[in-house]
Chains A and B, each alone.
Chain A
Amino acid sequence: MTCREFLARYTDYRDGLVAAPREARRFARHLVTCVSCRRYDAALHNGVGALQTLPGAEPDAAFRRRLERRLNAERARAGRPALPTRPAAAAALLVAVALGLLAWEGARHSPTVRAPSLPPVPFPKPVAQAGLPFVSFQDPRTSVVSGNPYPYGTAFVEPASAHR
C-alpha cells in the first residue's frame, strides 16, 4: 500500500469500514512500515482525543432565562388565534380593498335621473295629395350685391302649364 492510497482511504479505516480482513491487514502493515503515516494516525488520534476531553461550553443561567421568556411568548402566541402569514394577509387585504372599492363606487354614483315619460303620440299617417309637384326657383337676374340672401341664386320658375 502506498501512502497516497493510505491517506485517500484513511476515513474508512479509522471508522472501521474496512470489512475485508485482507484489506485491514494491508492498512495495519502500512502503519507498521511507514513512519509518516504512523505519525499521521497518531496525530489524529491524539488530537481528537484532546478535543473530546475538553470541557464543553455550557450555557449560563441567563441563557435559560432568556430562552424561557421566548418560549413563554411563544406559548402566549400559540394561545391566541394565529396571525395570518404575510402572503395570506396581503391577498386577503387585496380582496378586501377590491370589494370595498366596488361597494364605494356603487354608492358614490347618484341614481340616474330619468326623464318623465311622454304620452304616446300617434304616428302621422302619410297623406297622398293629387296634383303636380311644386318646384320653386329664384329669378337668376337677382344680384348678390343687392343683398340677395341667396347669393348663389335661386330661381322661381313656373311651369308652362301654370298660365293656361
Chain B
Amino acid sequence: MPAVLKGTVKPNPSERARERQALHELDDAQVVQRHLAADAQAFGTLVDRYQGRLLNFVNRTIGDRERAEDLVQEVFVRVYRHLHRFDQTKKFSTWIYTIASNLAKNELRNRSRNPLVFFQTIKRNWEADHRPLQFEDTSARPDDLYRKRFLKDAVEQCVSQLPEHHRVVFVLRELEGKSYEEIAEITGCNLGTVKSRLNRARNSFAQLIEPLVQ
C-alpha cells in the first residue's frame, strides 16, 4: 500500500512553505479561524506577526528586555489557551495587546510593592498629570554632540523617562498606530483619559527630545 495512502508520508517542505506563505497573506481573523479549524501552522503565523511588536511594546513599557520576553511568551500561551473563547467579532490585535498591557501593568505593580517606590510612583504620576503644559525655548542650550551621536539610546531613554501610564498610551499611539478607541480598550480607560494622557506624554517627550533632534 503506498505510503501516501497510509498517511505516513510527511508533507513536502515546499508544500509547508507554500501553506505558510498563504497563511501570512490572510488577515488576523482568517488566521484565527484556520487555527480553530486545526490548521497546525496557523498559530505560528500569529506568533510571527506579533512577537516583535509585542516585545517592543512590553519592553518599552517595563524597561526590562529579558522580563519582556517572558511576558510576551506568557501572552502567547494565554492566547493559545483561550483563543477558542475569543469573540471573533472583535479585533484580534486589540485583544492580544490588552493581554500584553495587563501583564506589563501587573509587572510594574509588582515592582512597586516597596512602599517607598509605590509612593514615589504615585507622586510622580500625579505631578505628571497636574503640572501645567509648557515648552521651554532651548535654543540657548549648547549642542551635546555625545547625545546626538547616540541618538538611539537617547530617544529610547526619553521614552523610558515618561511616567508609566503616559508611556503606554504614547507607545500605543505613536509607535503601534492604535486609534484612541483601541487604546481605550487596551488600557481600560475612557477616551477622555486617553487623550489627556497622550497630550501630556507628547508634551513631556517633546521637552526631553528637543535638544537632541535640533
Name A residues whose Cβ lies closer than 8 Å to a Cβ of B: 3-4, 7-8, 10-12, 14-15, 35-37, 39-40, 43-44, 46-48, 50-52, 54, 56-59, 63-64, 66-67, 70-71, 74, 78
Contact = CB atoms under 8 A, between A and B. Distances in A.
Interface of B: 43, 47, 51-53, 55-56, 59, 65, 69, 72-73, 76-77, 80-81, 133-139, 151-152, 155-156, 158-159, 173-175, 180, 195, 198-199, 202-203, 205-207, 209-210, 212-213
A58 B53 CA distance: 8
Contacts of A48: 174, 205
B52 A39 contact: no
5 contacts: A43-B213, A46-B209, A56-B52, A63-B51, A71-B80
A47 B206 contact: yes
Given A8-B199, A43-B213, A44-B202, A54 B155 contact: yes
B77 A74 contact: yes
A146 B88 CA distance: 114
A56 B213 contact: no
B195 A11 contact: yes
Nearest to B173: A15
B201 to A, nearest CB: 9
Nearest to B179: A15
Contacts of A63: 51, 69, 72-73
Contact of B133 (A7, A15, A71): A7
B209 A57 contact: no
Contacts of B69: 59, 63
B151 A11 contact: no
Contact of B155 (A14, A51, A67, A70): A51
A52 B173 CA distance: 11
Given A50-B213, A63-B69, A36 B135 contact: yes
A81 B167 CA distance: 42
Q: Which interface residue of A40, A46, A56 has the most chain B CB atoms within 10 A? A: A40
B81 to A, nearest CB: 6
The 8 closest A-B pairs by CB, nearest first: A47-B209, A43-B210, A46-B213, A7-B133, A11-B199, A40-B135, A44-B206, A43-B206
A16 B79 CA distance: 34
Given A43-B213, A47-B206, A66 B73 contact: yes
A64 B43 CA distance: 13
Nearest to B203: A7
Given A14-B202, A43-B206, A71-B76, 19 more contacts: A3-B135, A7-B133, A15-B173, A39-B137, A43-B209, A43-B210, A50-B151, A51-B174, A54-B152, A54-B155, A56-B53, A58-B51, A58-B55, A59-B55, A63-B69, A63-B73, A67-B77, A74-B80, A78-B81
